[in-house]
Structure 1
Amino acid sequence: MLRTVNRVLTALLGLALLALGLAVLFAGLDLPRRWDVGMPSGWPWDRPGDVVLSDADRTRWTDEGWWWPVALAVLAVLFLLCLWWLLAQLRRQRLDEVLIDSRDGEGATLRGRAIEDVLEAEAESQPGVDRARVTLTGRRSRPRARIGLVLTAHARPGPAVHQLRRETLAHAVASAGLESLPAEVRMRAARHRAERVS
């Protein structure tokens, strides 16, 4: 979700800045006059000496009763959206530790990297799996796993996923005392370079 929001926001901001920059460059180089191009009637500037917003444009609605509340509300919403976006960027994607039930009423923590290493090793020991990459996300009390599997050339995806769920994930749930460990599995085939045979 965050990756999609980042891409959409970056693309929209980039397009808006590109359009604004090209329009200012177009007017600043006096290209409409040089190329004898007629600009639209509402175009704010078309000569090097023009300004983007005139005094009349900047003060058009300031005497209206609705102007300041609307302007402040829009700025507040933009500020909150930017703050949310910044905090989302700073939030860690990977879990450092997982809270496990130690059956004594106190609980314990286990390093997230240790669980990831064990899951990777067990997944790579499965037949048909060439490499595995595991990342724990979510909350300490309810972790989620993102698993990337690189399958060998003749491996079948269905049995590989079933074995991963029945063995690797089940072992992790049982050994860490978790209620469950939801997982997102992405698979791709291993690519091997062709070798010359003489």
Structure 2
Amino acid sequence: MRPMSRTVNRVLIGLVGLVLLVVGGSVLAVGLGLDPPSWWIHDGEKDVLLSDAERTRWDGEGWWWPTVIAVLALVVLLTLWWLTAVLRRRRLTEVRVNTGDGEGALLRGRALEGVLEGDAAELDGVHRAHAHLTGSPDAPGTRVRLLLEPHVDPGTALHHLTTGALAHARNSAGLASLPAEVRMTGVRHKAERVS
């Protein structure tokens, strides 16, 4: 997720949280018997959120319930869209490469992921490899998942990955560093009956 998107998300979450805290806290305070200010929507602890007149004001109109349902559905859809946008891990699309002339160039993120996956998959005992770039174009990082054969020592596989595939990707892109989070799991082979 880009820094601007993170900032917007944090501001929106902060504002929604602040509004909920103020409204909920004030309703709770009035319900506990504290005197509300004159401009507040509740007069006292026996007051209701919506009076009968307010609740039934538009009840006889044909447009009221479809409008209420449409607005609530839109709020639910926007909330779900926002939640999936926040939870989805975005793929880094470009990495800024140092070309040595002070200008730099942009390298496609999928190309660097493909090279990293290919180099990692060629390591001894690696059944399959998957790489995912994270971070920003100027300071990328990566998440690597390795599926190891049962005979492979994880420490040895990690050493070969860091000195081989990760070092090659870092050097080829001209990066000062390429932080990596590596997850390793073992291949589960099905037992076969021998007769």
- TM tier, shorter chain? 0.5 to 0.7
Indicate which of 174, 182, 185 corresponds to 1:185: 182
- CA drift of 1:64 comes to 7.7
Superposition deviation, residue 182 in structure 1 = 0.6
Gaps of 5+ in 2: 1-5, 7-26, 40-78
1:57 to 20, 25, 31: 31
Distance 1:118 1:188 in 2: 21
Partner in structure 2 of residue 154 of structure 1:
151
Match of 1:105 in 2: 102
Over 3 Å counting, the alpha-carbon distance change for 1:87 and 1:125 in structure 2 is closer
Shift of 1:58: 9.4
- Identical aligned residues as a percent: 51
The separation in 2 between residues aligned to 1:179 and 1:88, in whole angstroms, is 30
Deviation of the 1:173 alpha carbon: 1.1
Stretches of 4+ aligned residues off by more than 3 angstroms:
56-61, 85-88
Task: Give me the CA root mean square deviation.
Answer: 3.3
In 2: Cα distance, 1:91 partner to 1:154 partner: 35
Shift of 1:57: 3.3
1:88-125: CA deviations, max 9, x gaps? 70775220010011112111000101111111111010
- How many angstroms apart in 1 are the aligned matches of 2:128 and 2:135? 23
Residue 169 of structure 2 is matched in structure 1 by: 172
Write the distance in 2 (CA, Å) between the matches of 1:89 and 1:135.
18
How many angstroms apart in 2 are the aligned matches of 1:91 and 1:152? 30
Q: TM-score, normalised by structure 1?
A: 0.57
Structure 1 unaligned blocks of 5 or more: 3-52, 66-81
In the alignment, what sits opposite 1:127? 124
Deviation at 1:61, TM superposition (A): 3.3
Instruction: Output the amino acid matched with 2:37.
Output: D
Q: Tell me how far apart the structure 1 counterparts of residues 150 and 89 of structure 2 sit (CA, whole Å).
A: 35
How many pairs are equivalent?
130
| DSSP 3-state at the match of 1:132 | strand
Equivalent residue, structure 1, for 2:193 = 196
Out of 137, 140, 156, the position equivalent to 2:137 is 140
**1:59 Cα deviation from its structure 2 partner:** 8.6
State the shift of 1:62 in Å. 1.7
* Alpha-carbon distance in 2 for matches of 1:87, 1:142: 25
1:63 is paired with a residue of what secondary structure? coil
Alignment partners' CA distance in 2, 1:104 and 1:91: 36
Return closer, same or farther for 1:91/1:141 CA change in 2, 3 Å cut-off.
farther
